[in-house]
Amino acid sequence: MQYIPNIIFAIALIIGIGYFTKNIRKVIRNIRLGKDVDRTDNKGERFRNMARIALGQSKMVRRPIAGILHIIVYIGFIIINIEVLEIIIDGIFGTHRIFAFLGSFYNFLIGSFEILAFLVFVGVIVFWIRRNVMRIKRFWNPEMKGWPKNDGNLILYFEMVLMTLFLVMNAVDLQLQNLDAAHYVKAGSYPISQFITPLFNGMNEGTLVFIERGAWWLHILGILVFLNYLYFSKHLHILLAFPNTYYGDLRPKGQMDNLESVTKEVMLMMDPNADPFAAPASDEPEGEPEKFGASDVMDLDWVQLLNSYTCTECGRCTSECPANQTGKKLSPRKIMMDTRDRLQEVGDNIDKNGSFVDDGKQLLNEYITPEELWACTSCNACVEACPVSISPLSIILDMRRYLVMEQSAAPSDLNNMMSNIENNGAPWPFNQMDRLNWSNEE
């Protein structure tokens, strides 16, 4: 009977980690639905970007209040969970504070964890106030209604509860240590929970053990639930920010890529010796022509799909977008959220049918409208503002390419300009022979 708690703990651990692994494999599969793109160049620069942006949070602190609070919560939450290693060992083998033999270093660790837990708790409360009391505008845009709004608050409640359970667990543990209770070795330093301990004065040892064990179980089970909640939440960026910053585009912000198929056609047109009617070099039949641009998530590359899963929904991109500021429909954050939602829908389709079955939907029109796409000024403000190197602009450009090159659905002003270039060799509606007429005017 004494091993039943250990067995239950091991089962809960296996289920929690197993379910998390299953969902992460789905994320990886969905990302791989995108087209291949080579991001293996400049490994040194990529590692530096990952260390500076994802680990060092360098872009977060551009907005000092939110940035510093985020660093406290980020570092605190990660470091505090180092104690999870001890909890796992204790849970499997039935020990208690297995690392207590580290002596003064252990005391330092527990004391540091407690201070960080308190700072995380305070930081989360400030975040909640900014979101729900101060109602900062970027948290209340139209795309942040429903689940996105609830998700932002839910994760804050999660962190409050986990930090509270951690401190309560330590406070009752300290009380049991003071009572010389069996199994509770005197170890650790408790600079925060020592102020909570008096709340449990007068309770008998059995009640204290029940509270301490209850907080211990709820804390570790809460962490497992939180781990699996990440898959359904924007907080998947906790894991994906690192690969996303590593695989970020290293080219100058204003440099746009060219479609290889279009480049080949242009080179063929410019080559006076080329035979446009020549047979293909290979005897194999030509496949279906590649689509120009993107109308659905499978037309995007895997880095763009990784971007969509990494989006933190912080709204910095939208708050910096000049189109959005002037009342246009475009929100770069919504572009990323819509891409992720459509990708998730495609993934669910694959889970249900074994392979993707046409559902009559696509990213264009069903999720993102042409009005949003054409509102973009291509200024790169959203890309520059993103704290984890996401590029909404790259998705916008690929979808505009589809509208222009596959559907001939460009706005009238753009169609006029392209007609002028085709007919006159310039964007203006003047015949080439008349260009210098202005010089003859007196």
Q: What is the DSSP string of 174-230?
A: HHHHHTT-TT-------TTGGGTGGGGTT--HHHHHHHHHHHHHHHHHHHHHHHHHG
pLDDT at 400: 94
Contacts with 401 (C-beta within 8 Å, 6 or more apart), sequence order: 259, 292, 293, 294
Residues 223 and 362 in one domain: no
- Ramachandran area for residue 16 (φ above 0: left; ψ -120 to 50: alpha; else beta): alpha
Strand partners, 35: 301
Q: Are residues 265 and 218 in the same domain?
A: no
Q: Domain for residue 381, yes or no?
A: yes
pLDDT at 198: 92
Q: Which domain holds residue 270?
A: 260-274+290-424
Question: Cα separation of 77 and 158, whole Å?
Answer: 12
Q: Within a domain: residue 254?
A: no
CATH number at residue 351: 1.10.1060
The answer to whether residue 313 is domain-embedded is: yes
- Report pTM: 0.88
268 shares a domain with 193? no
Do 209 and 181 contact (CB within 8 A), yes or no? Answer: yes
The answer on 99 and 223 residing in a single domain is yes
User: What is the Cα–Cα distance from 170 to 60, expressed in whole angstroms?
Assistant: 32
Nearest to 328 by CA among 256, 379, 364, 399: 379
Which H or E run contains 241? helix 237-246
Report how far residue 370's alpha carbon sits from residue 119's, in angstroms, rounded to the nearest whole number: 45
**Has residue 204 been placed in a domain?**
yes
Instruction: Give me 314's structure tokens.
Output: 């912080």
In a domain, 40, yes or no: no
What pLDDT score does 223 carry?
92
pLDDT in tens, the chain (442 residues): 667 888 999 999 999 999 999 999 999 999 999 999 999 999 999 999 999 999 888 999 888 888 888 888 888 877 877 788 889 998 998 888 889 998 999 999 999 999 999 999 999 999 999 999 999 989 999 999 889 989 989 999 999 999 999 999 999 999 999 998 888 888 889 999 999 999 998 899 999 999 999 999 999 999 999 999 999 999 899 999 999 999 999 998 888 888 777 787 788 878 888 776 665 555 445 556 678 889 999 999 999 999 999 999 999 999 999 999 999 999 999 999 999 999 999 999 999 999 999 999 999 999 999 999 999 999 999 999 999 999 999 999 999 999 998 888 888 888 888 888 888 888 888 777 777 777 777 5
User: Are 307 and 232 members of one domain?
Assistant: no
DSSP letter at 368 equals B
> Residues 132, 208: one domain?
yes
Q: Between vectors from CA 13 to CA 12 and to CA 15, what angle results, nearest 5°? A: 65
Q: How many domains does the chain have?
A: 2
- Domain co-membership, 390 together with 317: yes
- Are 377 and 61 in contact by the 8 Å Cβ rule? The answer is no
Give the pLDDT score at 356.
94
Asked whether residue 310 falls in the same domain as residue 416, the answer is: yes
144, 241: one domain:
yes
- Residue 229 shares a structural domain with residue 266: no
In the prediction, which pLDDT does 431 show?
A: 78
Both 104 and 237 in one domain: the answer is yes
The reply to whether 270 and 233 lie within a common domain is no
